[in-house]
Structure 1
Amino acid sequence: MNQNKIALIIGASSESIIAIKHAKALGLKVIAFDANPKAPGLKEADISYNIDIINPSNIIQTLSKENITLDIILPVPIGRYLITIGALNDYYNLNGFSYKMADICTDKLKFASALADNGGGLGSLRDIKFDIFDPNLNHNKLKFPLIIKPRFGSGSKDTMVISNLDELKNIAKNIKFTKMDFLIEEFIDGLEYGIDAVIINGEFHHILSRQKLLTTLPYRQAIGYISIDEIPSISSYIQNIITKLNIDNCLLHADIITKDNRAFIIELSTRPSGHYLSKFIEITTGINPTKEWINKSLNLPYNFKPKFRKNTIMRYFDFEGDWIAADFDLLKDSLGIIDYRCEINSTLPKVIDSSTIMDRGYAIIEANSKEECINNAHKLISNFKRIKR
């Protein structure tokens, strides 16, 4: 029934393959665009173009030359280039988020500014609200610890916690922080969560909440996620944010921090979660948000309501140096390892952001309780062996 329908992929990373395969299984022809000629999704698509995806007009011109009319843009976990998907949704009048929604969610300064002036407690807890980092700023106005992060981007790249004035002065010497837009604000030391959801007709529908395991300071990269029950106050808080910002018709990934029984938004994206979390979500809830969104967009039966909520943990491998992997076949039954991917085959750098951890692999473990999940993950990690040089 879908043989003549066209699906578009913007950003053909390995994490686009889930969407590509599901679309092709439904009979859609998939067209992929990516600036990287080695992007794995380009090989999986029916038609591929090696084109920079930052400019939607290039994509529109390419499709027009081939007389191609789109039916759906497949959901993929990308960063700032969500604005390209939004622009194409607008141009082709497709179901999904708009350019305006994508722009405000991928520009941290616009996002924080939109929430800070509402007076309803949706903005930042911090004394210093988001502002452009100026190496010459008045140090008397600062309250440590601070966090510095790029205005655009995701995956904790170039995000650091600064504990004192000396550290700030050292950061200011780095030419990178003077040539690019960086933001600075007061740091909150609280529990962090990842939230997976869908927004339909302006309503927030919770799929999964994940408590984060993080690197030690000064970095804030997630090295693991533990499934937890929905926290109603967080869901209500996110509903207020999407209502305020008119976020609608999209899958949603949000990062939240809680302190003193209050929730504060870190980041919100109009996309599915990345870093292989789609598999974790499906194992934990029985729902694959990407597949369900494609079904919904094609007017096929869909369901975003979790079928169950298992006690699971997803643990990445945050080693530094040279390591020999654990014997997963030997351990999987005793530790409840449901799924894993391990590609540790070289000297590993220190984990500071997603680019330094995500290609190593992960293990998804199911157990009878949150505590048992954590203990089993520790046991797995302890079975990796360090090579002494």
Structure 2
Amino acid sequence: MDNQYVILVSPRDNEVQLVQQQGYKTILLRKEISFDEIFDVDVPIEIDLNNEEVVLEKCLELANQLDIISVFTMNEYRIPLASKISELLQLKYKLPYEASLNCRNKKMARQKLNEAGIGEVQYRLINTQSDLKTELEGIDFPLIVKPSNDSGSKNVYLCNNEAEISTAIKHIVQSEKNIVGQSLDADIMIEEFLNGPEFSIESVTVNGQTTIIGITKKLVTPYPLSIEVGHDFPANLHANEEKEIRELVEESLAVLGVDFAVTHTEVKLTNKGPRIVEVNARPGGDEIPHLVKAVTGIDLKSLAFLVTLGKGIDSLDLSSSTVPSASIRFLLANQEGKVSFNEQFQSAYIKEQKWYVKNGESVKRTESNFDRLGYFIVYGDEQNLSSSKVDSVEKGFSVKIKNPLEI
């Protein structure tokens, strides 16, 4: 172990620490490496991650010099690259590259699931050259329009007519690239609007066997914005609803070819039954791993690394201090302007609190998961669910946005 290395592909969380805690040495691949990061890792390599040919060549060179046992990332945009490197280096435990593409690209996932007859959803693929009137025949409004390969609910539009779809397409095309500089897929997805409450399923697949760790209830703003404003874990579902969701996710992961991965699958419970929104080959974001660990004792992020070594839940040191339920709520800006809030606000219920902005700072109106203001986390107990506690705490937060034009 002292001389075994793990390649970390542009980590976005605490991947470096997770790997080092297990006793392995670290190779960091990132476009730009900060001064502090240089000293945090064993082999820092600045490299253009969007140039896959150069990255693969460099990784082969490293493999000829060092004993590389794993390639790891929880960065949504870099999971396919990590899978491709793993396959090139012929590592035993890896998410198959094709499966990584199925998860990263929503059109590929939808095609695979529909072909298998699993939770079928009507959809179309269009581009700027498409004849909208022809493409939209046989599919009813309202419709969701979104890029195939973006994330964070960015550029997702609910459209009620052809004109709104044209406008949505223009917005997506103008974006051109996602936040890591990758070109957006030329195919834009139009699919039926899945009406119903939303959930995410946190699970792990090892050697083709999927274990559902739990189901999270997701609170989302009404369209047209679709911003996630909170999560409750575990979701309070009827037994038959939970059974249907679990079966759908297990079947979907098998069809998509997922293996050796922690997954975060988003599902809507419609009047036709549960339907997949998207599958992510990584732990959920937005502090969902915090909620899961508080309730189950399972550290999803540690598990995400351990599965790249062929290990499962039984290899974890489970937290013995657990609670019945846990919730998070995000704070949003309802308009552009200067934000003000009570930095001294406290509640015995709050277990963690974080602001992404400073008091008095100019903020944009919250229009996606990327520009929220902060969050707080609450635990439930035997008498009260976290979801009921969190509502009372939220009333104590006084977040105001002063428009620059106001006196």
Tell me which interval the TM-score lies in, with the shorter structure as reference length: 0.7 to 0.9
Give the Cα separation in 1 of the matches to 2:211 and 2:6.
25
Q: How does 1:1-389 map to 2 (within 5 A)?
A: 2-13=1-12, 15=13, 17=14, 19-38=15-34, 44-66=40-62, 67-79=65-77, 81-94=78-91, 95-119=93-117, 121-124=118-121, 126=122, 129-134=123-128, 136-138=131-133, 141=137, 142-174=139-171, 176=173, 180-229=186-235, 231-260=242-271, 262-298=273-309, 302-303=315-316, 308=322, 310-319=324-333, 320=335, 321-327=337-343, 330-333=345-348, 336-345=349-358, 346-357=361-372, 360-367=373-380, 368-380=384-396, 382-387=397-402, 389=406
Conserved 8 A contact 1:20-1:41? no
Tell me whether 172-181 or 149-158 shows the greater mean CA deviation: 172-181
Shift of 1:352: 2.1
Task: Find the counterpart in structure 1 of residue 183 from structure 2.
Answer: none
Deviation at 1:169, TM superposition (A): 3.8
Contact 2:264 2:284 in 1 (8 A): yes
Provide the C-alpha distance between the structure 1 equivalents of 2:260 and 2:174, rounded to a whole number of angstroms. Answer: 36
Give me the CA root mean square deviation.
2.8
Distance in 2 between residues matched to 1:159 and 1:266, nearest whole Å: 12
CA distance in 1: counterparts of 2:252 and 2:45, whole angstroms: 36
**Matched residue of 2:68: which SS?**
coil
Retained in 2: the 8 A contact 1:113–1:130? Answer: no
| 1:281-311 CA-partner distances (Å, limit 9, x unpaired) | 3223221112134345447761498975632
Shift of 1:24: 1.2
- The Cα of 1:37 is off from its aligned counterpart by 4.1
Is residue 103–residue 281 contact of structure 2 (8 Å, CA) maintained in 1? yes
The one-letter amino acid paired with 2:265 is A
Task: Measure how far apart 1:239 and its partner are.
Answer: 0.8
Mapped contact 1:33–1:48 kept (Cα < 8 A): yes
Q: 1:207 touches 1:304 (CA, 8 Å); kept in 2? A: no
Q: CA deviation at 1:181?
A: 2.9
SS at match of 1:188: coil
Distance 1:348 1:274 in 2: 22
Q: What amino acid maps onto 1:350 in structure 2?
A: R
**Structure 2 letter corresponding to 1:104:** N
Give the deviation of 1:39 after TM superposition. 10
* Paired residue type of 2:50: I
- CA offsets, 1:348-374, max 9 Å, x none? 2122223223xx432111132154134
Find the aligned partners of 1:133 and 1:296 in 2 and give their Cα distance: 38
Most deviating of 136-145 and 240-249: 136-145
Q: Structure 2: which amino acid aligns with 1:164?
A: N
**1:221-254 superposed Cα distances (whole Å, 9 cap, x missing partner):** 2121111247222111111112223221111111
Instruction: Report the secondary structure of 1:310's partner residue.
Output: coil
Q: Which residue does the alignment assign to 2:180?
A: none
Give the partner amino acid of 2:157.
M
3-state SS of paired residue (2:346): helix
**Aligned AA (2:110):** A
Distance 2:303 2:167 in 1: 47
Q: Is the 8 A contact 1:171 1:177 kept in 2?
A: no
CA contact (8 A) 1:12 1:40 kept: no
Counterpart code for 2:283: P
For 1:256 and 1:370, the matched residues in 2 are separated by 22
State the Cα deviation string for residues 163-212 of structure 1 (Å, max 9, x = none).
Answer: 23342343355472696431111212211112211012222212232111
Secondary structure at 2:205 match in 1: strand
Per the alignment, in what secondary structure is the counterpart of residue 8 of structure 1? strand
The aligned amino acid for 2:263 is L
Q: Distance in 2 between matches of 1:83 and 1:233?
A: 29
1:46 deviation in Å?
2.7
From the superposition, tell whether residues 203 and 274 of structure 1 become closer, same or farther in structure 2 (CA, over 3 Å): same
Q: Aligned in 2, Cα 1:292/1:39: closer, same or farther, shift over 3 Å? A: farther
Among all aligned residue pairs of Structure 1 and Structure 2, give the percentage whose two residues are the same amino acid.
Answer: 18
TM-score calculated relative to the size of structure 1: 0.86
Shift of residue 343, structure 1, vs aligned partner: 2.7
SS of match in other structure, 2:76: coil
Letter in 1 for 2:231: Y
Unaligned residue ranges in structure 2 (runs of 5+): 177-185
Please identify, of 171-180 and 105-114, the stretch whose mean Cα deviation from structure 2 is larger: 171-180
What code does the residue aligned with 1:366 have? Y
What secondary structure sits across from 2:67 in the alignment? coil
Larger CA deviation: 277-286 vs 19-28: 277-286
Deviations 1:132-190 (A, max 9, x none): 24563116625211111101121111111112334234335547269643111121221
Residues 150 and 158, structure 1, Cα contact 8 Å, conserved in 2: yes
